[in-house]
Amino acid sequence: MRLTLFYNESANSNAARYYELAKEGRGKADGLRRAMEETAKELDKARKGRKKDVRRKREKEWYGKFHFSFTSGGKLMLGGRNAQQNDLLFAKHTDDADLFLHADIQGASAVVVKGGAELLASGGAGRQELAEAAQFAASFSKAWVNGNASVDVYAVRKSQVSKHAAGGFVPSGAFAIGGERTWFRDTRLALRIGMGDKGIVLVPEVSAVKLQNPLVLVPSQAGKEKGAIARSLSKRYGVHPDELLELLPNGRTKTLEKP
């Protein structure tokens, strides 16, 4: 270790100079050490948060690009997220055995219940699942954005639905309906969310499916925006907010504790 001494200064002055330099060096070292410790803590927190998010996000099934749910009888319900998806859903994913539903309002999901046509002919046996499908169609419509409490919904078979109308133009996302419709008047807009066997589940409020830690979601102009609701529910259920954004309807939403 080398020291530079200033001969024009006293011994005490030289000693004081090096004392101040040493004190300044210790201060810088302490500050650097504290900064390193804080950085390590932040990195560890970010790493844990990232691992948690990745762990909680589920791999999508093919139908995850649509609005989807299942009836209490296990039938898959699909709804278009926009006009283009409405057309895609009907053209690529609707068979003769399926049931087609639509809320009686401009701006609604085209809803298809896979294997649901049999419900119309099953009498009372299919009433529960039909009510669930109608509420699903009602909830994923412009009526939710408007804050409506209810809306009429109709159901028809695939053979009654067409993209072509005699002498008229059928715009993207809309359909021409022929024949008699089965109506579900004043269908309440409400969904139920909770934990199922494979993670977070969203079903119509009237569904017979049992969920853990459930909440009822209803449209309300005094409710929270979709993003805020997703963040709130993500904390309650420990899932990634993006997963909830994909499940929830557009518009403001209010939550109710299910009795």
CB-side neighbour CA atoms (13 Å) of 60: 12
How many residues appear in the chain? Answer: 259
Q: What is the pLDDT along the chain (259 residues), one digit of tens a residue?
A: 555 544 555 656 655 665 565 566 565 556 657 766 776 676 666 566 554 444 345 567 899 999 999 999 999 999 999 999 999 999 999 999 999 999 999 999 999 999 999 999 877 779 999 999 999 999 999 999 999 999 999 999 999 999 887 767 788 999 999 999 999 999 999 999 999 988 999 999 999 999 999 999 999 999 999 999 999 999 999 999 999 999 999 999 999 986 5
Asked if 67 contacts 81 with a C-beta cutoff of 8 angstroms, the reply is yes
Handedness of CA 124, 128, 129, 132 (dihedral sign): positive
pTM for this model (two decimals)? 0.77
Determine phi and psi for 151, rounding to 5 degrees.
Answer: -160, 155
CA distances to 14, 32, 34, 80 from 26, in Å: 19, 10, 12, 65
